[in-house]
Amino acid sequence: MTKPIVAVPADIRVFDGATWHAVQHQYVRAALNAAGVMSFIIPAFEEGYDTDTILDRVDGVLVSGSASNVHPSLYGRQATEADGPFDPARDATSLPLIRRSIERAIPLLAICRGIQELNVALGGTLASEIQEQPGISDHRKPPNVDRDAMYAVRQTVFVKEGSCIAGIVGSGEVLVNSLHRQAIAQTAPRLQVEAVAEDGTIEAVSVIDAPAFAVGVQWHPEYWAETDKPSNQIFQAFGDAVRDYAAGKLADTRTKQIA
């Protein structure tokens, strides 16, 4: 059986004056080597897409992290310089894919910027520069270190017993690599909080009553997906859900052919 395929929305990047549609290597590598699925990188455009046409051709959606942030106008706030940088084409591509994948019971894994997009897509809000809030730790990347040290597994999150994430990595304390300066403020009505940091910052959510796997994590399981057990378990669970969806599509096609 051929590997199933997941859609990965791209970021807009400019190199040497040329515009690129890009996804970081770690995400597509983790999809291939840990989840066991192939990736289609979906170009980012502000208009002109037929979301269902994309979803008709894939078996899952992986929404990656990014250096950019969701534009505050999408959750009812006026943008300030502190909220940036922005990528409106990424917003316009990802948010409809998130909503429709949930509606169509297509497995969804949202990471870092992805969990923030998931929250906004379903009606929640975000907070910027959370380290400036009383009682909130500094979740930003440590300065002056290489990438492996930057993404080291060193932060504790508390996974709620009985949650979807607990069914994957276990409940209680789990060490992760969470790096961010924005976070969920008001949780979308359809989201259940699955894990929090020691300071109460939301670190994982799932979609309430979702008909398929629909999980968001603020940390970066993609970076150590082949060597860190909890990171690997998250991608394996996503891959299993994608394979189940693909098998169901294949069975439906065969049934229609026989009929």
SS3 call for 147 = helix
Residue 85 preceded by cis peptide, ω within 30: yes
Q: How far apart are CA 13 and CA 241, in angstroms?
A: 31
Contacts of 12 (CB under 8 A, 6+ apart): 19, 20, 21, 22, 44, 87, 89, 90
| Known catalytic membership, residue 198 | no
Place of tokens 């359809």: 190
- In sign, the C-alpha dihedral spanning 35, 52, 42, 119 is negative
Q: How far apart are CA 62 and CA 134, in angstroms?
A: 33
Structural tokens at position 82: 């502190």
Q: How far apart are CA 156 and CA 2, in angstroms?
A: 38
| Known catalytic membership, residue 112 | yes
Residue 26 sits at the vertex; the CA angle it makes with 151 and 123, to the nearest 5 degrees, is: 80
| Known catalytic membership, residue 222 | yes
Catalytic residue among 132, 198, 222, 226: 222
Catalytic residue among 132, 173, 220, 226: 220
Catalytic residue among 112, 139, 164, 194: 112
> Which of 143, 99, 148, 153 shows the shortest CA–CA distance to 121?
99
Amino acid at 144: N
Residues noted as catalytic: 112, 220, 222
